Structures are given as C-alpha cells and as structure tokens.
Amino acid sequence: MSDAVITVILTQVATILEKQIREELSLVCGVGHQFKKLRSEFESIRAVIADAEKRQVREESVKVWLEKLRDVSYDTEDVLSEWIAAMQKVESDGCRRSRKVTSLFTMPCFGFDRVAFRREIAMKIKKINERLSDIAAEKVRYNFSEVLSNETLERPKTASFIDDAEVEGRDVDKENLIGRLLGRENRAKGLNVVSLVGLGGVGKTTLAQLAFNSDEVVSHFDRAVWVCASDPFDEVRIARAILEFIEGSAPYLFELETLVTKIRNYVEGERFLLVLDDVWTEDFRKWEQLWMSLKTGKAGSTILVTTRKESVARIMGSSDLIRLGGLSVADSWALFEKIAFLERKRERFEEVGRKIAEKCKGLPLAIKAIAGLMRFKATLKEWEDVLRSEFWELEEAEAEGLFPPLMLSYYDLPSNVKRCFTFCAFFPKDHAIEASNLVQLWMAHGYMAASTGKLPVEAEAERVGQGYLHTLAMRSFFQDVVRDRDRIVSVRMHDMVHDFAHYIAKNECSVVEFNADFQRRMESSHKRARHLTVVRAEGSQFPNVTNVEKLFTLWVQSFYDTPPIISQLDRVDPDFIRRLLSLRALDFSRNRLGELPKEIGLLIKLKHLNLSHNPFWELPETLCDLYNLLTLKLSGCHHLRRLPSKIEKLTNLRHLEIDRTSSLKMLPKGIAELASLQTLNKFIIMNDRSNAACGLVELKSLNNLRGCLKIEGLGFAAGAAEAKKAELRNKSHLSDLEMDFSPLVKSGDSQYEVIEALEAPENLESLQITSYGGTSLPRWIMNLAKLQRIILQDCQNCAALPPLASLPLLVTLHLEGLNSMKCLDFDSLGARADGGATVAFPALKKLKISRMERWEEWDVSVGGAAMPRLRCLKISHCGKVKALPPLLRGSMLRKLRIDGCPVLHRLYNKESGELWSEIAHISKVRVS
C-alpha cells in the first residue's frame, strides 16, 4: 500500500515540476530544489517497498519503519496538494501569471497572506525532507531486496466470474437446511428458530442464500425477509431493515416500539421466513422486543440465524442447530479447479494444485481466493512458489482470521489495485458499494495512478476503474457482484475480507459508531486514520468529531430521508468544517441537513462532495470556491430549488449528479462553461428567458457527456433553430437519452420540428420520449442501430410508429399512453430480412403496453417470424384490445401479465376463459 501512496506523491511532484518547466518559472525560496530531492528520496525508497511490506508481518522493526514511512508520505501528499491547489486557485480565478511564480502570490485574486504562505510551504518541505532522509538512511540496515512490483494483470479470455450459487459439496447441507426451514423435523411449538453455525468463510451465507431462493422455500412461506445483522447488533436498524425489505423503502421511524408494532401488523397471521445473517450479539435483551413482535406470525414461521458462535444460537432460542463444516478434500478440489483452470492443460498443474487446495482447510472463501490467484499463474514454477510461500505459516494471519490465500492474492496485485482494495476498508461491513461512487473516490485520491506516475485521463477513468473492479472480483475480494451488461454496478465485501482490508490498512481506514456510549472510544480509535466513516446511531445528533485535521476522507453515514418537520433538521458546526482542511472526499448524504455552512468553501483540496438526499433549499455560493472539485452529488435533494449562480468556477468538475431533484426547475447558464462534464443527469429548459437560465444552446459545448441524460422542459423550446444549436448528435458518449416535452405548450407540428432537429447520437442504447405532442416520431430513430430499449410515454397524438420492428438489437419496448393509436400493425412497423425470411423484432425480449385507451387491434400478419425471443409480455389498462396475437401459441414466452383489460380477462382467465388453452403453456401467467 505504501507503494501506491508514493506513486500518488510522485505524480504530484511531476505535476509541479512539469508546470515549472512548461511555464519557464522559478519556484520561490528554493522549493524547486526541495521538490527534486523529495522525488529522489521517494524513488529510492519505492524500490524496496515490496520486500518491506512482505517482511513486516514477521519483523516488528520493519513494521515500525513502514509506519514512519506512511506518516511522512501522507504529510508529504498533504503539502503537495496544498501547493497544487494554490496554483489551480489562480487559474480558476482567471488570473494570468506573468513570468515568475512569485507573482502567483502577489495577485489580488489570491485571498491569503502571500509571504506567510510562501514561507510556510518552504518550511514544511524542508522538514519533510529531513524526516525522509532519516527514514531512507534507516532502510540500509534492513538489507531490503529491490523487487519490481507487478503493474499489469492479464485478463482471462473466457468467463471471468464464478456464480456464488455454483457451490460444491453442499447438496446434502442444502436439503437438510431446507427441511429444517420447512419444519419437517421440528417438533417445537411456536416460532421455529434455526441456526447455521460455522467458521468465517465456510459458506454459511451462501448456503442460506441457496435455501432462501429455492422454489420449495419461496412457495412455502407467505413472506420472506433477508437482513444482515452484523456487529454491533442494532435492534432499531434491524427493525427498519425488515420494514424496508417488506415495504420497498426505509420508513421514517426511529422508535423501536413503533417499528416493532408495524412489523407485528405485517407478520400477524402470515407464515414468514426471516433470515438474520451474521449475528454476533450474546445479549438477548438486544432483540427481545423484536422477538416478541415476530411471535405473532402463523404457525410454521421460521427465523434462520447465521453465526460463528454456538452461544449466539443458544441465546436466540434455536430449536435446530446446524454446524456447517468445511468442504471435503474432493469438493475442495472441485471448487478450486472450476476457478483456477481455464484453457490450460490440467495434467502439469494438478499435483501441485491439489496440495494448494488442501492448505485451504475446506474453507470456500479461501479456496476461491487462491484459485482466483492461480488462474493468472502460467508456469509450474509459479504454482510451486505459491505452494512453498511462507504466508501459509503465518500465525498472526491465522489469529486475525485472515487466511493466507488472501495474503498471497493481495501481494500479487499491482500496487495501484492494492491501494484501491485497502481503501474499501473505509466502508462499513456488509455495505453495498456503488461501483461508480467507488471509482470516483479512487480518482479523487489519485489511487489509479500507474507505475509511471500518470493518472488515467478523465475519459478513461471509468474504464480503468471497471478493470480494477473486475480484477478484485475475480480474486474473490468482492462478492454479490451486480452487473449491467459488462459493467459492474455494485459489490459487497465478505466480512472476513473486510477484516483483512483493515488488517492491511493498519488503522488508516476507521469505521466507528457515534453516540453517547461510543464517544470516548471513537475519539481514541481514529487518531491515525486518514479515511473515517462515522456511523450515526439512530436519533443521534450530527457528530462533531475530534482528531479530524489530517483526514483525507470523511463519511457521516446516516439512514435519514427528508424529515417531515423543520425542527428535526441537522446543523453542521462551522468550526467543524474549518478543521477539515485536508479533506479530498466528504460525504454528508442522507443526513437531515437543511443548510450547509458557507465555510465549505475553505476546503479547497476537496475533489469529491456527496450531499445527496438532504433537504437543502439552496447551497452557499462559496461552494463555487471548490475549484478542485471533480464530483458533486445532489441526487434525491427534492427541496433543492437552485444551484449556485457562479457554478462556472468549478472548471474541473466532471460529475454533477442532480437526478431526483423535483424542485430544481432551472440551471444557471454557467453550466455551459463546464466543458469537462461527463455526468449531468438532467438538463432543464424553462420558460424564463432571462440571462441567468440555460437554454438548449448551452448544451452545445458539453460534448463529453456520457451515460444518461434527461432533457426536461422541451415544451418550452423555441423551435427547430434553437434545437439544432444543442448539437445533440455530437454527444457520442451518451448511452441513455430521455426527452421530456412537458409541459405541452406547443402544437404538434411545432414539436415535431423540435424533435427532428434534436438528432440523437448514433451510439445510443436507450431512448425515452415523454409527453411529446407531435403526430409522428422523428425519422432519425431508425438510424440508431444500437438501440436496445425504447420507451414511448404519453405521446397522445401519435397514431403510428416508425418501423421499429427492423431494429436489430431492440430488447425492450414500452408503449404507454399512446391514446391515438388504434392498431399495432407489424406490416407498417417494418421487419428485418434474415436469410430470406422476414423477422419482426428479432431481439425483443420484453414488451410492455399500458394505458392505450383506443387500441383495439393487434395485427401480426407478417410473412416471417415475429418476436422469436419474446420472454415477457405485460398488458395493462387497455380496455378495448380484442385479443392476443397468434404469435403467443407455442412461443418461448415465460411471463404473461394482463391487468385492467376486461375483454382479455374474459377470454384468457384460467377459470373460464375460452382461449386459456392458447396461453396455458406459459410458466408464469397472471390475468386480473
């Protein structure tokens, strides 16, 4: 990890020196010489880091030496960031230096004591070099070996992931567990409690998931809920999690009595299954009230507890206790070879591979981790080196519950990927980590710098970050990987892997709980932390944490949504903000903040700011002083009415997330100056023609936008001439586009001219058109050959559609509120020739049609196949449609749902429908 920190430092030094050379400037007070000395010292130390980090596990003196190095490295990074921020401040304010850096500190736009700052920087650099010289001299006595770190990692050509459900040797255990959950062998009366007990990493959670999702369990229980309990056991949080699982959103309730009363009402008279995963508490009082509320469930209701401790199972009153042991030798090998071997021949490696698998002692997590490492080892010698590694004998690793396979896999990673992994210790256990947010945080801290000291350019950051995520997932450092096509959307860390990350991070990442009982422990536990997560206890005040002056990352984690009354709003102490001057990343999301202190503008090193899901009405103008900011998150700030008027000062901004901000009705014109923006969830046009608000012309310069963009207020667009100025077709990185024409203030012909002029980029994968008043859709839709999803919603005047059936990659089609359409005619929709045959909608899998008030006929009189891959069909509130098309007979359709269609209900209901036989082959049918 020290290697990755040093890489960041070398990147910063290179930035400063490059700027000096490019602009032919001389740095004040000989600081340039000090910078060069810094670079030389760090480069010499970096050569021995790999050996030192391995030896620290056995040699306490090496561990102490590395701790000294980490401290001085972080202090160095902080000073360099301060210097870079000073240079960028001048550029951001539009001041031009003449010929010397001394003028950097004589310009009126620089708002601090220039002489004092110059002297302070010089003294800091000098003191750091003195400390660093001592550390560099001390390294000689350890006789470290110079080891070249591995900075590249070849990706396998075949499938990269193993599904967690594809487990080995658990068939008997699975059937046994399902039997216990269904009460086949349970003679106890009342609530059935089953406990699954075993070592960390043995596969308790995976086995519980297999049972939870099995057809037998799903059909047996009226309601099934999964909650991760973890440590500490917070009964209020768990009660809210249960209700969130049931209701689909977190309730705004924080009193345990109120929560358990709601739970009691839900489960009363129902046969339910509740899984409490990873329980640690041995205090029955912690869950007594919850237990009493669950006892009102119907006979046969079951609680499944997974835990490492039998004492927990007894405390929770288990009537059944299943002790889960490790995998057998045969099953261990079967799991190992499934992951480790791809296209290579097994014969040469099998003997060594079996010995490596046996060292994992039957623990699936350990086997998957080491197998994920071995798939990248191409020679027999590399396999033998792993088998003989000293890490297998580490007593400390065993004592910490940190399996040697994790050590072996970790040290095989490139240094930048190592640093990105250890940063994940910053997240609480069992937290679902949003991939895009994690990549943005890595960028904010410079962790994706390569061995050359170069960071990926912003356009490549997402791709590089996704590569890191894939690498860590393949090595089993991540689990519960959620994917959207080729992209990873979110991940979790197994609690044992989380412990391992903390062990490697050496207290640099700290997660603490804030309340009165934990105050003293919290203040002493994070003194050396650079990345701190403060988890607010339910109902606690906003924390004013001590020892934060050297923090690089702060997350105050809460679970609040927008409060119902003003009196419950949180306040941030301005003095607390003033103590956070070293921060690179700040996350205040989901707290109850009604305002942000103007002192936020002092955090000039800040690159990542998350204020999502807070009840702000507005933000301070000083926010625009954060000229280093890369990411600003305001998602779910439903009360937010305006953005700061001088937003153009945020010249480095790459991600502005403003989705789900329903009160935000205008954007300042300065948005057009942010040419580097990559994320802008929505662009708003308003009727106000003042100089302050954006029009479509302000979209012109934003050609780096990627991902999703929603354009709101197109009903206010002046006409085709204005629409052309947006040059939407040049936004080639966009994948998803939504055009919203509400409010409907123009005639149909006028709106057709606007939408035709708004020609979408050809690479588009998803298109949604809402509240469009034209009678026909734009011709350019048929140029979007990569479209996979189309949603047409409330396009009241459209009586016909373009030939969508010929789009080769269209997977999802949603038609809603097209009230002028009477007939869906495949002949007019077009079809694609395929080997002489005509195929309509060749790739379509999901079709949803709703609120089509005049729709009567569905004509599929096409010569060839129609929708050959259709799997899901939903039709709702289409009162006049007369019949389903013949294409459903013998089709591969798996799910059919019909709601609010009286004619179809009469024809196709299972009890008396005369045409039920035409759809009886479909596995999931609902006609209501």
Q: Report the pLDDT value the prediction gives residue 162, as an integer from 0 to 100.
A: 42
Which among 393, 419, 483 has a CA at the least distance from the CA of 160?
Answer: 483
pLDDT grade for 917, boundaries at 50, 70 and 90: confident
Residue 110 lies in a domain: yes
Dist CA 693 CA 241 (whole Å)? 42
Q: Does the pLDDT at position 523 exceed 80?
A: no
Residue 388 lies in a domain: yes
* Of 772 and 297, the one with more pLDDT: 772
Write the CATH number for 571.
3.80.10.10
Q: Report the pLDDT value the prediction gives residue 111, as an integer from 0 to 100.
A: 45
Residue 767 lies in a domain: no
Q: Report the pLDDT value the prediction gives residue 82, as an integer from 0 to 100.
A: 80
State pLDDT tens for residues 536-586. Answer: 876 678 888 888 999 999 999 887 665 656 667 889 999 999 999 999 999
Q: Report the pLDDT value the prediction gives residue 537, as an integer from 0 to 100.
A: 73
Please state the rounded mean pLDDT for residues 666-671.
91
Q: Report the pLDDT value the prediction gives residue 154, as an integer from 0 to 100.
A: 47
| 405 and 425 fall within a common domain | no
| 433 and 383 fall within a common domain | no
| 375 and 456 fall within a common domain | no
pLDDT grade for 158, boundaries at 50, 70 and 90: very low
Q: Report the pLDDT value the prediction gives residue 769, as an integer from 0 to 100.
A: 96
Dist CA 657 CA 254 (whole Å)? 29
Please state the rounded mean pLDDT for residues 168-175.
86
Q: Report the pLDDT value the prediction gives residue 831, as an integer from 0 to 100.
A: 54
| 128 and 32 fall within a common domain | yes
Which among 421, 453, 451, 450 has a CA at the least distance from the CA of 438?
Answer: 421
Write the CATH number for 400.
1.10.8
pLDDT grade for 344, boundaries at 50, 70 and 90: low
Spell out the long-range contacts of 527-532 with Cβ–Cβ below 8 A and sequence spacing 24 or more. Answer: 530/74, 531/423, 531/425, 531/426, 532/426
Q: Report the pLDDT value the prediction gives residue 620, as an integer from 0 to 100.
A: 96
Q: Are strands 846-850 and 872-876 parallel, antiparallel or unpaired?
A: parallel
| 396 and 435 fall within a common domain | no
State pLDDT tens for residues 122-139. Answer: 788 888 888 988 888 888
* Sheet containing 302-307: order of strands: 223-230, 272-279, 302-307, 192-197, 320-323
Which of 616, 639, 664 is at the close of a domain? Answer: 664
Lowest mean pLDDT among 221-225, 653-657, 681-685: 221-225
Lowest mean pLDDT among 245-254, 470-479, 681-690, 727-736: 245-254
| 331 and 275 fall within a common domain | no
- Which range has highest mean pLDDT (21-30, 116-125, 404-413, 656-665)? 656-665
| 7 and 127 fall within a common domain | yes
State pLDDT tens for residues 271-317. Answer: 899 999 988 888 777 777 888 888 888 888 899 999 988 888 888 88
State pLDDT tens for residues 34-56. Answer: 778 888 888 888 888 888 877 87
| 26 and 51 fall within a common domain | yes
Q: Please state, rounded to an integer, the average pLDDT across all residues of the chain.
A: 82
Residue 755 lies in a domain: no
Q: In b/e form, how buried is each residue of 550-583, taking b as 16+ CB within 10 angstroms?
A: bbbbbbbbbbbbbeeeeeebbebeeebbebbbbb
Run of H or E including 779 = none
List Cα–Cα distances, 380 to 127, 353, 371, 413, 761, in angstroms.
Answer: 49, 10, 15, 19, 50
State pLDDT tens for residues 831-849. Answer: 554 555 577 888 999 999 9
Q: Report the pLDDT value the prediction gives residue 478, as an integer from 0 to 100.
A: 92
Q: Report the pLDDT value the prediction gives residue 508, as an integer from 0 to 100.
A: 86
Residue 873 lies in a domain: no
| 217 and 178 fall within a common domain | yes
| 402 and 422 fall within a common domain | no
Q: CB of 10 within 8 A of CB of 39?
A: yes
Could you tell me the two tokens for 816? 């809603």
Q: Report the pLDDT value the prediction gives residue 87, as an integer from 0 to 100.
A: 67
pLDDT grade for 411, boundaries at 50, 70 and 90: confident
Lowest mean pLDDT among 104-113, 229-238, 705-714, 875-884: 104-113
Q: Domain of 458?
A: 414-493
SS3 content of the chain, % helix, strand, coil (to 5): 40, 15, 45
How far is C-alpha 302 from the chain's CA centre?
32
Number of domains into which the chain is organized:
5
Residue 743 lies in a domain: no
Q: Does the pLDDT at position 402 exceed 90?
A: no
Dist CA 462 CA 454 (whole Å)? 16
Q: Report the pLDDT value the prediction gives residue 149, as an integer from 0 to 100.
A: 52
List, in sequence order, every beta strand (DSSP E) within 702-845: 707-712, 734-740, 766-770, 789-793, 812-816, 823-825, 832-834, 837-840
Q: CB of 98 within 8 A of CB of 59?
A: no
Q: Does the pLDDT at position 85 exceed 70?
A: yes
| 555 and 602 fall within a common domain | yes
Q: Does the pLDDT at position 711 exceed 80?
A: yes
Write the CATH number for 239.
3.40.50.300
Q: Are strands 895-899 and 553-557 parallel, antiparallel or unpaired?
A: unpaired
Q: Report the pLDDT value the prediction gives residue 872, as an integer from 0 to 100.
A: 93
* For the chain, percent of residues with pLDDT exceeding 70: 82
Burial (0-12, 13-18, 19+ Cβ within 10 Å), 619:
buried
Residue 248 lies in a domain: yes
Q: Report the pLDDT value the prediction gives residue 827, as an integer from 0 to 100.
A: 52
Which of 493, 527, 543 is at the close of a domain? Answer: 493
Which of 640, 664, 688 is at the close of a domain? Answer: 664
Residue 26 lies in a domain: yes
CA dihedral of residues 811, 468, 703, 803 (deg, nearest 10): -10
| 512 and 474 fall within a common domain | no
Please state the rounded mean pLDDT for residues 507-531.
69
